[in-house]
Copies of this chain bind each other. A is one copy, B any other.
């Protein structure tokens, strides 16, 4: 099973604590041992690290820990290849430029019979359904909007494209332009918004705790989004099945939620992934 991790904050924050638990799922505490990728926005630029080594043992992941990069938007992905070869060109997150901004995208799931016509503006480089979905979203946005629209219009357009694409299968994804972060659940996505008063948190995957009060200021707001909760002593919220949200400044600012929301249990989500024989 692949896993997603995202962070959206109102101030540049390092993701080391969350990433430490997350990366251990790549080869130690879980079986996502076919590489990983992480992208950090820094201003308008992006720092992107990809590796085909398991994240638990990757020198690139060691660097991420050592470097303590501070960012307002981060997207990370650990891969368990269940089909298709492991190659750098197929490693998430993917990056493209749209409207003079870099966009990052990572997906877990599987899309069946999803082969949109080659775009005028965006073409996949690798051969994953994930990169095809990303290119399709950007292509349709660019076709429709020569210039970046306001955020309400953009959110509505992404929601419509997401509904179209998820009709092909499992489509858990995160996407960011450095200002905000979209997150969509087909099965499992959890999030937590950390803000004052900050408390302690303890990782689920490792015997590590952190006192956020010691490393934050009272105005900080930090949203962490992940396939499964990363800590044991905090209350994580769950996205409903087919819910799309937009995080900005560390909080959800727009949401598109079904009229009758359904929340999937972790067991059910994992079973669906296994039954589909795919990387969820």
A binding-site residues for B, Cβ under 8 Å:
42-50, 59-60, 63, 66-67, 87-91, 95-97, 99-102, 118, 120-126
Contact = CB atoms under 8 A, between A and B. Distances in A.
28 contacts: A42-B87, A42-B89, A43-B89, A44-B88, A44-B125, A44-B126, A45-B87, A45-B89, A45-B90, A45-B91, A45-B125, A46-B88, A47-B50, A48-B48, A49-B49, A59-B63, A59-B66, A60-B67, A63-B63, A97-B123, A97-B125, A99-B123, A100-B118, A100-B123, A100-B124, A100-B125, A102-B125, A121-B121
A42 B97 contact: no
B47 A88 contact: yes
Nearest to A118: B100
Number of copies of chain A assembled together = 2
A50 to B, nearest CB: 6
Nearest to A40: B88
Nearest to A99: B123
A44 B100 contact: no
Q: Which of A42, A50, A97 has the most CB of B within 10 A?
A: A97
A124 B45 CA distance: 11
A95 B46 CA distance: 11
Contacts of A44: 87-89, 125-126
A42 B88 contact: yes
A45 B96 contact: no
Contacts of A50: 45, 47
Contact of A88 (B43, B60, B89): B43
A136 to B, nearest CB: 14
A185 B228 CA distance: 52
A50 B42 CA distance: 11
A266 to B, nearest CB: 32
A140 B24 CA distance: 45
Given A42-B87, A44-B87, A44-B89, 13 more contacts: A42-B89, A44-B88, A45-B87, A45-B88, A45-B91, A45-B125, A45-B126, A47-B88, A59-B63, A60-B63, A63-B63, A100-B123, A100-B125
